[in-house]
Amino acid sequence: MAHKRYRSILLFGAPGVGKGTQGRVLGAIPGFFHLACGDVFRSLDISSQEGRETREYISRGELVPDDLTIRIWRKGLDGYLGMSQYKPWEDLLVLDGIPRNLRQAQILEDHLEVLQVVYLICKDEDAMVHRIQRRAIRENRADDGSEGVIRHRFDVYREETEPVLAHYDESIVSRVDAFGSPAEVLRSVLDVLIPIQNELFRDRRP
């Protein structure tokens, strides 16, 4: 089936690096629409078939199977399109948490025109684990309950997700130091994204 391909930015990086925080802040700025795959999963009714099935994987720190992931993610996207909360003619789609392996990246080629990959980098795994543990308490997240599950999420990231970077042309990958405060990281992310947005929507500004 042929889809419209949405102009997208991918926020990429290890668990706990700050993709969700940066995505949410960007999503509050007119001209960006943020969609986190994990948020789509967490919004499912847990008594539904999809809710039950995905929760099993999420609570173990495993990836949800690709076809199920893409189907649920696409349904989430279509919901925002249907409500005109995401307006592709004026918003850049900011994705985080997807694609998480090479197969997802290939499937998404049908759905997305990836303009830029923002690779948030933090080498301090312990700092990220602590951040995730604080978030687990704040947001009551089932996947972040134990350190064992969190460490497993890092293994999955290294084995399955990191290789996804090679799928994208080096010229569209920007590396951003994610170690600073959210505001500092945001400045670096905006340095990358503002020129892209200006170029795209040049004709639309009043």
Q: CB-wise, 7 or 19, nearer to ligand AMP?
A: 19
- Which of 12, 100, 105, 118: binder of ligand AMP (CB under 6 A)? 100
Give least dist CB 166 to ligand AMP, A: 17
Residue 168 touching ligand AMP (CB under 6 A): no
Q: Determine, following the binding rule CB under 6 A, whether residue 38 of this chain makes contact with ligand AMP.
A: yes
CB 192 within 8 A of CB 92: no
Which range touches ligand AMP (CB under 6 A), out of 3-11, 92-100, 175-183, 186-194?
92-100
Least distance CB 3 / ligand AMP (angstroms): 17
> What is the smallest separation between the CB atom of 143 and ligand AMP, expressed in angstroms?
5
Q: Which residues of 40-60 are buried (b: 16+ CB within 10 A; e: fewer)?
A: bbbebeeeeebeeebbebbee
Applying CB under 6 A, does 63 fall inside the site for ligand AMP? Answer: yes
Contact at 8 Å (CB) between 10 and 117? yes
> Using the rule CB under 6 A, is 69 a contact of ligand AMP?
yes
Q: For ligand AMP, which is the closer residue by CB, 65 or 195?
A: 65
The reply on whether position 15 binds ligand AMP by CB under 6 A is yes
User: Is 153 a residue that touches ligand AMP (CB under 6 A)?
Assistant: yes
Percent helix, percent strand, percent coil in the chain, to nearest 5: 55, 15, 30
Are 129 and 185 spatial neighbours (Cβ–Cβ below 8 Å)? no
Dig out the tokens for 62 from the structure: 């495993």
Any contact of residue 91 with ligand AMP (CB under 6 A)? no
CA atoms of 40 and 76, how far apart (whole Å):
6
Q: Which residue is nearest to ligand AMP (CB)?
A: 38
CA dist., res. 162 & res. 90, Å (int): 30
Determine if residue 11 is left, alpha or beta; phi over 0 gives left, psi from -120 to 50 gives alpha, anything else beta.
Answer: beta
What residue ranges bind ligand AMP (CB under 6 A)? 15, 37-38, 41, 57-58, 61-64, 69, 97-98, 100, 104, 143, 153
